[in-house]
Structure 1
Amino acid sequence: MNKSFYEQNRQKLLQMVKALHKLGYGKTRVIPSIAPIGLALRFY
């Protein structure tokens, strides 16, 4: 089964944050939340 466009990008986004953690940006966070248009990811 093929993954949707959003599902693929969400995985890439989480991998990017993992890479940032390895580079020393350990306080970078991804926080999932509910938005009127659906699931939203916020970065802090």
Structure 2
Amino acid sequence: MTITGPLEQAQLLETLVLNIVNHQSLIATKARRLSYAAARSTK
């Protein structure tokens, strides 16, 4: 992905995009850990 524009706007957009992606990754990681822990506890 390439973003072009004034520096201030590009930095703001970059920050927003990174926050969204990082949050989604955090949720997926926690869900995987919970799933793994639940599978181990039922054995």
Q: TM-score, normalised by structure 2?
A: 0.47
Higher percent of residues as helix = 2
Greater Rg by CA: 2
| Structure with more contact order per residue of length (Cα contacts < 8 Å, sep ≥ 6) | 1
